[in-house]
Amino acid sequence: MPVVRALSKVAKQALLAPACGCQPLTVAIRNISFSPRQVTSGSDASSFHSVSFSETDHPKVLITGPFIYSDILDYKNLREIVVNNRITWLVHYSALLSAVGEANVPLARAVNITGLHNILDIAAEHGLRLFVPSTIGAFGPTSPRNPTPDLCVQRPRTIYGVSKVHAELMGEYYHHRYGLDFRCLRYPGIISADSQPGGGTTDMLIACTNASLPCEPHLRLPKVTCENLKNYAVQIFHDAVKTGKFECNLKPDTRLPMMYIDDCLRATLEVMEAPAETLSMRTYNINAMSFTPEELANEVQKQLPDLQVSYEIDSVRQAIADSWPMNFDDSNARTDWGWKHDYDLPELVQTMLNFIGSDTRVAQAN
């Protein structure tokens, strides 16, 4: 899963030298403490805007998810980090993604829902600008799929999807009720050369390890993870370069929305920097491209004509993919704050092959 890793790198570069010339601090923590807590009684919209204009112009950013370990049950410690570092923006990436979530629903509920409540409270109490990512997994089989608009039926069937809808609604509620500066983007599938795709169980064990979760041998992990479904679009590049053969678990005509990691991170920074008056809503779809395995394979074969692609359909994965958006309507993001993607399918393929090809050459040389 590439987003946390990539953002922590890019945030350091981009925010250390932003257009405003300021010198923000980026603090990134993982395993933040989450415990039930109420918004300070008597809080109102004005108290949530206690951060001065100059402070929001010179953001100090806390990213949850990577790097530093903090006591997972220590809300006080989280607050200390915010106060001691004079944090003004909070980017909340911590989450249990779908596979781990389905394997341990109580933990997913704690991290994704109770955790989100704590983040909302911290952000509200300290007047922080808050970003929380959502996902195509926040939609379900009854949502319109092609295109999927910002506002439509959302009835996901995973705890991950449900928790993300909850995050969208709670953030918007805190914005309307208390004036919290909540901003949310629904990411499509994120593609990065800086991630190690795998199939089913392997990915989930990696996810468990990353999240410091119990990886008991008897833990019956589900075979499918929503994010992993998109990994075919990463795996194909590794296989094309290393073996020249790729077996796809989805039907050749399964269309899903996708985005290269650089666009995802730029969108996140842009929506955080957007003047509040440009935002007609607080949760936006963003998109870059939408393609099928067959279209992706054809594009890769333009560079590597010997690539052999076969299809071994996994019915469970296929059923989940068939319940997801095929195409995101992100026209509101484009109109309101000028979202524009840089990477389309040919550029994505070229970039991924360049990265993975050079990594492979380095590995062979070593």
The residue (of 104 and 332) whose beta carbon lies closer to ligand NAD is 104
Does position 8 interact with ligand NAD (CB under 6 A)? The reply is no
Q: How far is the CB of 70 from ligand NAD (least distance, A)?
A: 8
The token pair at 11 is 């945030």
For ligand NAD, the binding residue among 35, 77, 210, 301 (CB under 6 A) is 210
For ligand NAD, the binding residue among 11, 14, 119, 211 (CB under 6 A) is 211
For ligand NAD, the binding residue among 189, 197, 293, 325 (CB under 6 A) is 189
Contact set for ligand NAD, span 109-168 (CB under 6 A): 111, 133, 135
For ligand NAD, the binding residue among 108, 190, 267, 320 (CB under 6 A) is 190
Half-sphere exposure of 1 (CA within 13 A, CB side): 27
Contact segment (CB under 6 A) with ligand NAD among 18-26, 58-66, 116-124, 265-273 equals: 58-66
Q: How far is the CB of 132 from ligand NAD (least distance, A)?
A: 7
Contact set for ligand NAD, span 226-265 (CB under 6 A): 227
* Per annotation, catalytic residue among 69, 75, 93, 160: 160
For ligand NAD, the binding residue among 131, 182, 187, 260 (CB under 6 A) is 187
The token pair at 208 is 């468990």
Does position 320 interact with ligand NAD (CB under 6 A)? The reply is no
Spatial contact of 309 and 239, defined as CB atoms under 8 Å apart: no
Contact set for ligand NAD, span 62-101 (CB under 6 A): 64-66, 72, 93-97
Sign for the pseudo-dihedral over CA of 178, 183, 186, 192: negative
CA distances from 191 to 1, 137, 311, 349 (A): 9, 16, 21, 10
- 146 CB-near residues (< 8 Å, 6+ apart): 255, 325, 326, 327
Spatial contact of 215 and 205, defined as CB atoms under 8 Å apart: yes
Q: What 8-state DSSP symbol labels residue 148?
A: B
Listing DSSP states for 87-116 in one string gives: --EEEE-----HHHHHH-HHHHIIIIIIHH
Contact segment (CB under 6 A) with ligand NAD among 26-34, 49-57, 275-283, 305-313 equals: 26-34
Spatial contact of 155 and 143, defined as CB atoms under 8 Å apart: yes
Please confirm, yes or no, whether 69 is among the known catalytic residues.
no
The token pair at 265 is 């991170």
Listing DSSP states for 294-337 in one string gives: HHHHHHHHHH-TT-EEEE---HHHHHHHTTS-SSB--HHHHHHH
The residue (of 139 and 307) whose beta carbon lies closer to ligand NAD is 139
Query: Which residues sit at the interface with ligand NAD, rule CB under 6 A?
Result: 1-4, 30-32, 64-66, 72, 93-97, 111, 133, 135, 187, 189-190, 207, 210-211, 227
Q: Which residues are the active-site residues?
A: 160
